[in-house]
A and B are shown apart, each in its own frame.
Chain A
Amino acid sequence: MRGADYVIRRAGFALLTIFIAITINFFLFRVLPGNVVSDLARVPHATPQLRHALTVQFGLDKPKWEQYLIYLRQLARGNMGVSFATQQPVSQLLLNDLKNTIPMVTIGTLGAIAVGIATGILSAWRRASAADHVSTNLAIAFYAFPTQFLGLMLLILLGGLLPTSGMENPYAGVFGPQSSIARVQDIGLHLILPALTLLLTLYGEFTLIMRSSMLETLGEDYVLTARAKGLTDRRIIARHVVRNALLPIATLVALSIGWIVGGAILVEYIFSWPGIGQALWQAINQRDYPMLQGGFLILAVSVVVVNLLADLAYFKLDPRISQ
Chain B
Amino acid sequence: MSAVATEPGLTGTVSRARAGLIRQALMERKAAALGLGIIAFFVILAIAAPLIAPYSTTARTCAVFAPPSASHWFGCDDGGIDMLSEIISGGRISLIIGFAATLIAMLIGGGVGIASGYFGRWLDITLMRITDYLLVIPDLAFAMVIADVWGPSLSHVIGVIAILEWATTARIIRAQVMSVKERVYIKRARSIGASHARIIGRHILPQVGPLLMANTVLTVAVAIYLETALAFLGLEDPTTTTWGTILEHAFDRAAVSAGAWWAIVPDGLVITLLIMGCFLLGQAIEDALNPRLKVAHLSSRRWALRPLAGRGPGAI
Contacts and interface: CB of A to CB of B under 8 A. Distances in A.
Interface of A: 13, 16-17, 20-21, 24, 28-29, 31-32, 125-129, 140-141, 143-149, 152-153, 155-156, 159, 212, 215-216, 218-221, 223-224, 227, 233, 236-237, 241, 255, 257-259, 261-262, 265-266, 269-270, 277, 280-281, 284-285, 292, 295-296, 299-300, 303-304, 307
Contact of A296 (B142, B234, B247, B251): B142
Given A145-B268, A219-B297, A152 B247 contact: yes
B309 interface: no
Nearest to B280: A140
Interface in B236-277: 247, 250-251, 256, 261, 264-265, 267-268, 271-273, 275-276
Chain A interface, DSSP helix/strand/loop, else mixed: helix
Nearest to A263: B140
Contacts of B273: 144
Nearest to B232: A148
B138 A299 contact: yes
Contact of B297 (A129, A220, A296, A307): A220
A154 B106 CA distance: 35
A262 B145 contact: no
A57 B31 CA distance: 64
A241 B297 CA distance: 11
B279 A144 contact: yes
Given A148-B228, A212-B293, 13 more contacts: A20-B133, A127-B299, A144-B275, A148-B251, A149-B247, A153-B265, A215-B296, A255-B135, A270-B251, A280-B141, A281-B144, A284-B235, A296-B145
Nearest to A293: B145
Given A227-B297, A265-B144, A140 B279 contact: yes
A143 B139 contact: no
A149 B264 CA distance: 8
Contacts of B129: 16, 20
Given A144-B275, A147-B229, A215-B293, A152 B268 contact: yes
Interface residues of B, number: 52
Interface string B289-308: 00011111111110100100
Given A146-B229, A148-B228, A284 B268 contact: no
A258 B300 contact: no
B296 A218 contact: yes
Chain B interface, DSSP helix/strand/loop, else mixed: helix
B139 A219 contact: no
Nearest to A132: B300
Contacts of B297: 218-221, 223-224, 227
A299 B139 CA distance: 11
B139 A262 contact: yes
A127 B300 contact: yes
A81 B276 CA distance: 44
A148 B229 contact: yes
A191 to B, nearest CB: 19
A284 B267 CA distance: 26
B141 A296 contact: yes
B192 to A, nearest CB: 37
30 contacts: A20-B129, A127-B296, A127-B300, A127-B301, A128-B301, A140-B279, A146-B232, A146-B247, A146-B275, A148-B228, A148-B247, A152-B247, A152-B250, A152-B264, A156-B256, A156-B264, A216-B293, A219-B295, A233-B298, A236-B298, A257-B138, A258-B137, A265-B233, A266-B229, A266-B232, A285-B234, A296-B142, A300-B136, A303-B136, A303-B138
Contacts of B292: 216, 219
Contact of B133 (A21, A255, A292): A21
B132 A17 contact: yes
A304 B135 CA distance: 10
Nearest to B261: A156
